[in-house]
Structure 1
């Protein structure tokens, strides 16, 4: 078997595991509620101030990056997987960038409304499409970058 294929396959699994740990085990309610921005309101519901949410967004993305580095490091040490520093850095940086953008949520909403899935938004489908986007646009390309 080709070493690049082994790195891609094993790396994808490690990135997938790290993604789920960071999104479901390590993400706080505050990060989840604020990473796409939020409105500060008074008692009557009047918006007092809009917060951009980039701080919570980048903290969440950094937790992803740490989880990925830990998972890839454990994998490399456990099975002597030949990960390059450059490939690992590119993969983690790519996933950080794509995760940050997807988690702003407007990309997910726009995709769904422009591809005929607007009603799925109303039925709670955004988290499913969000996770699909993370896999397709983030994890798969990141695993390919590990082979550099």
Structure 2
């Protein structure tokens, strides 16, 4: 169950982060204004919907048993942390702390961002399958 849930949630993450994310969301989700928060929350909502669909596939197609409360908590965790990470300052702060400023200037922030999201999914799947 662990592997299939992780693969489904990771596929949902990739879909929400790339083909389902609008140009406007990508450009403005870290802006420090109402429009930035709106773009950020709309993008996080896409993650919630895609992840919910992934969990529904796990239950209906693969026959996994996932209780409602743990599923809702996992969706809240995925959605909330995604919105937080995508504000961009947490990744920038981590890269400064880890002395990765030069790598950040060469595009490394995108890799750190995606790694953070994958670790979030790992925690969610561990919680769902414990």
Structure 1 length-normalised TM: 0.83
RMSD: 1.4
Tell me by how many angstroms 1:75 deviates.
Answer: 2.2
More helix by share: 2
Structure 2 stretches of 5 or more lacking a match?
Answer: none
* Partners of 2:127 and 2:106 in 1: CA distance: 35
The 3-state SS of whatever aligns with 2:21 is coil
> Given that residues 87 and 147 in structure 1 are in contact (C-alpha distance below 8 angstroms), is that contact kept between their aligned partners in structure 2?
no
* Partners of 1:141 and 1:52 in 2: CA distance: 30
1:33 counterpart residue number: 27
Tell me by how many angstroms 1:52 deviates.
Answer: 5.9
* 1:105 aligned to which of 82, 88, 113: 88
2:10 counterpart residue number: 16
* Count of residues paired in the alignment: 130
Structure 1 stretches of 5 or more lacking a match?
Answer: 1-5, 39-49
The answer to whether 1:144 aligns with 2:126 is: yes
Structure 2 length-normalised TM: 0.93
Q: What stretches of structure 1 move > 2 A for 4+ residues in a row?
A: none
> Deviations for 1:38-66, whole angstroms, at most 9, x for unmatched residues?
6xxxxxxxxxxx55611110000000000
The answer to whether 1:131 aligns with 2:114 is: yes
